[in-house]
A and B are shown apart, each in its own frame.
Chain A
Amino acid sequence: MHEYKISKQLENIPFRTSENQLPVTVPVQFSGIRNMTMIQTKAIILFTGILLFMTSCTEKIDIDLGTTYTRFVVEGAVTTDTMRHHVKLSKSVDYYSQTDVPAVSGAVVTIDDGITQVALMENDALPGDYETPEDYYGVPGRIYYLNIKLQEAINGQTNYSASCLLNPVAPIDSINVVYKEEWEAWELQIYAWDPGAINFYSFYVYRNGDLVTDTINEIGISDDKYFNGNFTYGAPVYYFIKDDPTENVFPGDTITLQMGGITEEYYHFVYDVIMETFEYRNPLFSGPPANISTNISNGGMGFFTAYAVSYATTVYEE
């Protein structure tokens, strides 16, 4: 099977989301530098593409990867929203296994913020998905401790734990959606004050109430090193790509942005995930692959995060 891989990359310009970035870039979606790295990324893809589009080819290849031992995986978050908060427990599988990852059921899962302790109940319909009560919410400034006791040991361990400080977050002044001809994309812009301290942010985007950034590598993250203590004046935080029919924005659409005040550790975790889920690695611009970071104890993988959130909504008009 011959397919002109680089030409395919060229089609992705302007690149869509962090999914299509080369890992050389800092995935900063909040600041002006985001634009710069995006342009740089675009240029690099284009440049490499031009250089290679005549000759390079892509082909499936058989690589024997062998098998590996099972890891225990945690995905959990506590935010300041009052709602059911979820902790998902699962196991890893071999890379080539053609199966879903197995859920881990029957565990005892608790979250403790030093003042209140809450037990999470496994959802009967969704094995491995553990939920807090509906009226649960996180409080900024508290440290959240997650404790998990498994029925059966994974990798020799039955007890896993993690903790995360719940950072506050600044309010969003407003957001705006503008179509950018040069990117063939709708740019979501943010107006907000960044506090003077060192901050890290996550961005989730909703369109008409549906989550657009529905996979981890699509969410935006940013540190504030390029604009610490400043007003953001419409910095882009997300691009809805015209090429992708599921992402088109129509007049009258309601766009909502959730901004989270995440910890530095979680920022690096998401950064690692974006790097390692990027499918177009190449020796020119990619460093060696490496395992993503984690805050789960005892050799577990994944992350238990906590963050305050703020929202802003706009209705798109052409």
Chain B
Amino acid sequence: MLVMALNSGRAEGEAGLKKITVSGHIRDKQSGEDLIGATVFVKELKTGTSSNIYGFYSISLDAGNYTLEYSYIGFEPVQRAIGLKENMTIDVELSEKEEELQEVVITGTAINDNVTKAEMSTIKMDTKTIKQIPALMGEVDIIKAIQLLPGVQTISEGSSGFSVRGGSLDQNLIQLDEATVYNASHLMGFFSVFNNDAIKDVKLYKGDIPASSGGRLSSLLDVRMKDGNAKKYSATGGIGTISSRLTLEGPIIKDKASFIVSGRRTYADLFLKLNSDPAISNNTLYFYDFNAKVNYNINENNRVFASAYSGKDVFKSPDFKMLWGNQTFTFRWNHLFSKKLFSNFTLLHSKFDYELGVPEGSANSFEWIANLKDYGTKTDFTYYLNTNNTLRFGLSAIYHNFIPGTARGLGSDALLTEYEVENNNALESAIYIGNEQKFGARLIAKYGLRFSHFVNVGESTIYNYDEHYIMVDSTVFAKGEFFSPYYGFEPRVGLTYIINELSSVKASYARTRQYIHLAQNSTAGTPMDIWFPSSPNVKPQIADQYALGYFRNFRDNAIETSVEGYYKKIYNAIDFKDHAELLLNRLFEGELRFGEGQAYGLEFMVRYQLNKLSGWVSYTLSRTEKKTNTPFVEDGINDNETYLASYDKPHNVSIVLNYNLSKRILVGATWVYNTGSAVTFPVGRIEYGNKYIPIFSERNGYRMPDYHRLDVSVTLLSKEKPERRFNWDLNFSAYNAYARKNPWVINFKSSSENPNETYAEMIYLFSIVPSVTFNFRF
């Protein structure tokens, strides 16, 4: 097909029609921020393109007179009439729609990207939408918003972990400005690491993952930080129930260079001080986030960005400490080789680490550290061949350094000697090429091929196991020695057939390969994550996903509807044996079990952007199954019989409503409902050693009670006056407004008076949780 594309390009060339290129950047007029995915439409030709993540667009046309229309959701479209004779650069700035204009029914220019764009299974959200969703303790949270989308299941109440189309939580690639965020949660997952004030745009790929991305099986959550206001200085901040935020941004050189710095810190520990129990009041417990970014437009053809994130959770008590956090750093250079060839070079670094320990001075003193570091580079090219073909190609390499855990005693009194789980290193690299090709006005094909390669790098010790997963011996690999390579192709294909302006059918297939995995046996997610590489004992996980969808818009695109079906098959799926010991265990690879998984489902979504009402309704019907294949049945999970994943929740409904009651009062409400997660419950009991011990059902053979919850919020806005620079809003929200007791866990117990009297007891985390947040910007 690629050859076909190139041929068709040549055919046009041979016809003697020299193509001329119009290119440029599309930006927000108020802030100078790049607009990602803004549309450029050539009215005369009824064709167009859209801006990339740097706001850049390029379109090649025959010489002639054209009207270009630039549009972006929520912004006033702009038209430019051009007489095209030679290559042109047109930078366009769009203004946000005024409040008044939202009262008017949107006509004509509304955007039908969801219908016509050659991508499916993706959802883009801007921070404005996310901000309006009522949040737990008023902490606006990208990941909690993502969990309201069809095909996305929450792992556990309050958790930042999520499952996309039946994938496990380590199968989501979460990237902040292209650097991987390994643990996106704060405070055991109740909050995510993303500070909404510093974020521009979030896009979730549930399938149809572009060939330029890889390394995880199930999804890509692409989070982009703001570039910083290039026009004027501004400050945004908030004072909330548990945290405060402050963001400063502004031009370094007007319209050429800008910066943004953003910080957030919780003060939950201040409440602890109020507690009379010293066991509680003597503790420190907080987290912070810090985002910073600068960008510089060197000239028309060169632009550089540097962005950094650092976040940490700190928990300290007089005799114990536990800290964990993420850091990411990205440096990017956009370079235009020509008006048609856009390139980006990236250097990136990510780190996730945790440490726990007891301060020096007692026999118990120890420290335990674990971390994971990535050093990577990426090169991406976009070649805007002609109006019908956009080629993308590039390569990437990431060096991973794993320190799964080292514990040692501190000081002379310490009992503990050092125990180290061997460190590992690995090199993960990939090359890809893809094309997006239009066949006439109705059919768009997107096809690509990614080739990925993974190799372990010594020095390392690999333990070898027998068929019962018992360690037999070990192999030592020398420093710098490459061993256990894995590689393979990852084809990606998508077809979009546009039935008419308002409806389309799309289909896609993607193969994804995952080389690094998360050893974590809990259902919710803790900071004690251990990432481990594929190795002689661990094959890469591979997934094939097929999806088919129908997209239909109503009322001039004000209402977008879609239905998508998917089927996903996972090979070499990793699970953990019963009672697995994953922490500080050199032999943890022996705790792994391999098998396969499959997931399928139907997702319905209605997204609306009406005069006063916006939001969406989604419904997902799905099933997720797993199965291990061990040489001996007794070593498998559930005797190697198929079982449901814990996050298999057949019915899942989300309703998100944002209503502008007046210009100054916004009301938000979210209702979620899902089938209870699949769990293992006791069915019988035996007595052994004077103790009752449960006999369990098959793995995940029972269900928790159904989960449902309503969150509401009311936001009061300051009066909008043109001359006023200081604006504020005050947000009141209630999480779980009708105080539904949703079980977080169900434990089975024996009465202390009569051990024969057994009963079930649930813990529910939240009753109604009210909160107040004050936000300001100037």
Residues of A at the B interface (CB closer than 8 Å) are 5, 10, 13, 24, 26, 31-33, 35-36, 39-40, 42-43, 46-53, 55-63, 65-68, 71, 73, 75, 90, 92-101, 182, 214-217, 219, 225-227, 230, 233-235, 268, 271-273, 275-277, 279-292, 301-303
Contact = CB atoms under 8 A, between A and B. Distances in A.
Contacts, number: 254
B756 A98 contact: yes
B3 interface: no
A200 B133 CA distance: 54
B364 A35 contact: yes
Given A35-B364, A36-B407, A284-B188, A43 B280 contact: no
Interface residues of B, number: 92
B294 interface: no
B615 to A, nearest CB: 27
| Top-10 shortest CB links A-B | A216-B689, A32-B416, A32-B415, A290-B578, A287-B521, A283-B524, A68-B683, A63-B760, A283-B523, A283-B156
Nearest to B634: A293
Contact of A39 (B189, B279, B320, B699): B320
A57 B764 contact: yes
B584 A26 contact: yes
Nearest to B743: A61
Interface stretch (B50-58, B383-391, B536-544, B744-752): B744-752
Contact of A57 (B583, B584, B697, B767): B767
B768 to A, nearest CB: 9
A47 B690 contact: no
Nearest to B418: A226
Interface string B684-700: 11111111111111011
Given A39-B366, A279-B747, 19 more contacts: A24-B528, A32-B416, A33-B419, A43-B356, A48-B188, A53-B280, A56-B744, A57-B767, A66-B683, A90-B686, A90-B687, A92-B685, A95-B758, A101-B687, A225-B419, A273-B691, A275-B579, A288-B680, A289-B682
Given A73-B688, A215-B690, A59 B576 contact: no
A301 B761 contact: no
A123 to B, nearest CB: 16
Contacts of B525: 284
Nearest to A35: B364
Contacts of A290: 578-579, 680, 696, 699
Contacts of A31: 415-416
Contacts of A24: 522, 526, 528, 583
19 contacts: A36-B358, A50-B280, A56-B763, A58-B763, A68-B683, A68-B695, A97-B756, A100-B756, A101-B686, A225-B419, A235-B415, A273-B688, A273-B689, A286-B745, A287-B579, A288-B521, A289-B682, A289-B696, A291-B696
A292 to B, nearest CB: 6
A59 B765 CA distance: 11
Given A24-B583, A32-B409, A39-B320, A68 B744 contact: no
A145 to B, nearest CB: 20
A95 B682 contact: yes
A282 B744 contact: yes
Contacts of B521: 287-288
Contact of B687 (A26, A73, A234, A282): A73
Nearest to B364: A35
B322 interface: yes
B478 interface: no
B744 to A, nearest CB: 6
B749 A279 contact: yes
Contacts of B756: 97-100
A223 B584 CA distance: 13
B763 A33 contact: no
Contacts of B317: 43, 46
A273 B693 contact: yes
B257 to A, nearest CB: 42
Interface string B553-594: 000000000000000000000001011110110100000000
B319 interface: yes
B681 A63 contact: yes
A92 B415 CA distance: 43
B88 interface: no
Contact of B691 (A39, A277, A282): A277
Given A43-B317, A46-B317, A287-B522, A61 B695 contact: no
